[in-house]
Amino acid sequence: MKIIKSLRTAPPTAWFGFVVVTIYLIVAIFAPLIAPYGEREIVGDEYVAWDSQFIFGTDALGRDMFTRLVFGARNTVGIAFVTTVLAFVVGAVFGLLAAVVGGWLDQLLSRTVDVLMAIPSLIFKLLLLTIFGTSVVNMVLIIALIDSTRVYRLARSVAMNIVVMDYIEAARLRGERLPRLIIREILPNAMAPLVAEFGLRFCFVFLAISALSFLGLGIQPPTADWGSMVRENASLISFGDITPLLPAAAIALLTVAVNFIVDWMLHRASGLKD
């Protein structure tokens, strides 16, 4: 009820973001029902122009582009969401632990994170994917590991400002155990910036997966993916065909929509008034 009430006062940009995200979720969940053909099905000649049968034409193998876009929503967005959740859980847990426990654990985790963050993330991801292979599991684990360092820094920073509060000291004196102290006392007060970070981190992971797929080290064919669809059909731009821009536009639209939602959530959490 509280969320619904707050949505009534949300700005148009936030509503736009929620509508776009909802549409993407519906398309991703019901992709087999929405798509007219199978994800990997060859249904016509190569590079058929837009017509009544193939509303966005076909690709280099004769697969329906609209179908590939629909299934790309499920694959790209779904994998990005799973990766973000994994990165967020790992980063937030270790960040909160480092802030609460302190001492050698804080120093060990923080210095490890500093080393990992010193390496350019895209180059690091490309290197690890080249070493361990380009399977979906490897990609999810590698991106989650690298992006968890950013979540760790934020979680630790927020928690460090909370652990010095009097009510945390009172909870310690009551004999609260570490898990209960984190879950009941610290996490609720750190939730607003962490939720906003989750939205931003999803955008970064989503763009990273698309970039890796465009470079050929992300989601591998014949699985539909927006990044690889841009690469596979990029040559059409030379002939004035905007088909390669469709998956690129889908990537950009979702990124903008999520950022609108995050911006509104940060505005609410800050307590500022319009």
Backbone angles phi and psi of 63, in degrees to 5: -90, 145
Residues 6+ apart with CB under 8 A from 13: 260, 263, 264
Run of H or E residues at 54: none
pLDDT of residue 2: 52
Judged against a pLDDT cut of 90, whether residue 86 lies above it is answered with yes
Global pTM exceeds 0.75? yes
Residue with tokens 């763009």: 207
pLDDT of residue 217: 82
Q: What is the pLDDT of residues 229-272, one digit of tens each?
A: 888 888 777 777 788 888 888 888 988 998 888 888 777 766 54
pLDDT of residue 229: 84
pLDDT of residue 166: 77
Instruction: Taking residues 5-28, report their average pLDDT.
Output: 84
* CATH number of the domain located at residue range(s) 27-268 in this protein: 1.10.3720.10
| Domain range summary for the chain, segments of one domain joined by + | 27-268
Backbone angles phi and psi of 22, in degrees to 5: -65, -40
CB 35 within 8 A of CB 67: yes
Q: How far is CA 213 from CA 63, 96, 181, in A?
A: 18, 33, 41
Q: What is the pLDDT of residues 162-215, one digit of tens each?
A: 887 777 778 777 777 777 787 887 888 888 788 888 888 888 888 888 888 888
Going by C-alpha positions, the residue among 201, 209, 178, 226 that lies closest to residue 59 is 226
The 8-class DSSP code of residue 42 comes to B
Residues 6+ apart with CB under 8 A from 265: 192, 195, 196, 199
Judged against a pLDDT cut of 70, whether residue 91 lies above it is answered with yes
